């Protein structure tokens, strides 16, 4: 693997040097490809266009990110920003690369979570868009056009992860392929209309199974905190190490979102029954609401409290999009019509 890692470092150096002027664009793209963005950006936008597609996006995002966590624990995988120093191969010739605020993630690197979740979630989006275009135009060529958008998104997100030294190229490719397969499989198994008990059991089951896997691997002498130690050691700015990039943060996000999806469907959301204008208003208000929910400060000590509140935060995400905001918009627009 040394040669693969080494070639990945030199590719990252070339990419940084030749696209230095696009630095801000790469940072924005890597944010859009963040699994968190699937919950906070793609989900509300998709939901108010197509209810089933929106629910599918949330479902696929949660399951694919959970699987990515399991894969990382099993496959390990270095990250470029720490491997440069740990390898000892660049003593005489140091690569001319730099880190960024989004570089210093603390989980293992293989496969890329950004690439994997993006590939899974955006496959749901583009396949739904393609089906809609075909039903309206009956043109195979036009309905296939979203696939080009899909490829462009994956390439952009993958290059952004290499540019900021968060992943090696082979990790990005592995994430894209795995995510694409998951997107095709999971979009056909969307748990729309399932009882709340199903989502509660799924949320608790995924949480407990991941914790048991973590404990089991530790009992076998496998230290799963190795990546956190390396990230802290080699990150150029200590403040770039954030708890919300830790593996257990993604776990609590996924389990919280799934429980939230069950609760939102239990309350029988009415967002999809709104006309187009109130639905657009609901999208705008939901986006602002999720922006502020995401920015809520959480205490980092003790860590158990942080993860518990992080879980609650993502339980709220489907409530805001599917229940609270559409309910308020319906109430005020209905009241206005009466007057």
Residue 269 banded pLDDT, cuts 50, 70, 90: low
Residue 13 banded pLDDT, cuts 50, 70, 90: very high
Rounded distance, CA 205 to CA 220, Å?
22
Give the burial class of 24: count Cβ atoms within 10 A of its Cβ; 0-12 exposed, 13-18 middle, 19 or more buried: exposed
Binding site residues, as ranges?
79, 161
- Token output for 272: 């999809």
- Residues 114, 170, 292, 334: which is the catalytic one? 114
Q: What is the pLDDT of residue 1?
A: 80
Q: What is the pLDDT of residue 193?
A: 81
For the entire predicted model, the pTM comes to: 0.93
- Token output for 75: 């496959």
Q: What is the pLDDT of residue 337?
A: 57
For the residues of 38-57, what is the DSSP string, one character each? IIIIIHHHHHTT-HHHHHHH
Q: What is the pLDDT of residue 272?
A: 57
Q: What is the pLDDT of residue 7?
A: 94
- For residue 206, pLDDT over 80 is answered with yes
Tell which wins on pLDDT, 217 or 330. 217
Query: Tens digit of pLDDT for each residue in 189-204?
Result: 999 889 999 999 999 9
- 237 an active-site residue? no
Q: What is the pLDDT of residue 41?
A: 95
Query: Tens digit of pLDDT for each residue in 232-260?
Result: 999 999 999 999 888 999 999 999 999 99
Binding site residues for substrate, as ranges?
79, 161
- Residues 167, 170, 214, 330: which is the catalytic one? 167
Residue 107 banded pLDDT, cuts 50, 70, 90: very high
- For residue 276, pLDDT over 80 is answered with yes
Answer whether 58's CB lies under 8 Å from 257's CB. Answer: yes
- 167 an active-site residue? yes
């Amino acid at each position: 693997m040394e040669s693969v890692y080494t070639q990945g470092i030199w590719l990252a150096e070339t990419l940084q040097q030749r696209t230095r002027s696009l630095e801000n664009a790469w940072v924005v793209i890597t944010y859009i490809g963040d699994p968190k963005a699937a919950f906070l950006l793609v989900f509300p936008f998709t939901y108010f266009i197509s209810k089933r597609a929106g629910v599918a996006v949330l479902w696929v995002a949660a399951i694919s990110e959970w699987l990515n966590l399991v894969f990382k624990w099993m496959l390990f995988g270095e990250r470029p920003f720490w491997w440069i120093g740990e390898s000892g191969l660049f003593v005489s010739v140091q690569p001319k690369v730099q880190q960024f605020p989004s570089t210093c993630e603390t989980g293992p690197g293989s496969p890329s979570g950004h690439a994997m979740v993006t590939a899974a979630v955006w496959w749901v989006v583009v396949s739904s868009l393609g089906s809609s275009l075909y039903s309206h135009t009956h043109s195979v060529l036009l309905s296939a056009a979203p696939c080009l958008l899909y490829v462009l998104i994956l390439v952009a997100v993958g290059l952004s992860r290499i540019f900021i030294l968060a992943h090696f190229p082979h990790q990005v490719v592995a994430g894209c392929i795995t995510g694409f397969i998951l997107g095709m499989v999971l979009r056909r198994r969307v748990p729309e209309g399932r009882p709340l008990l199903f989502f509660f059991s799924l949320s608790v089951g995924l949480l407990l199974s991941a914790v048991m896997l973590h404990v089991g691997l530790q009992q076998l002498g496998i230290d799963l905190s190795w990546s956190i130690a390396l990230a802290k050691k080699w990150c150029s700015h200590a403040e770039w190490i954030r708890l919300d990039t830790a593996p257990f943060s993604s776990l609590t996000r996924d389990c919280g979102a799934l429980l939230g999806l069950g609760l939102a469907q239990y309350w029988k959301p009415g967002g999809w029954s709104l006309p187009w204008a109130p639905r657009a208003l609901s999208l705008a208000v939901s986006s602002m609401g999720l922006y502020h929910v995401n920015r809520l400060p959480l205490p980092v000590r003790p860590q158990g409290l942080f993860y518990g509140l992080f879980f609650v935060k993502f339980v709220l995400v489907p409530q805001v999009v599917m229940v609270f905001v559409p309910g308020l918009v319906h109430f005020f627009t209905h009241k206005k019509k009466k007057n």
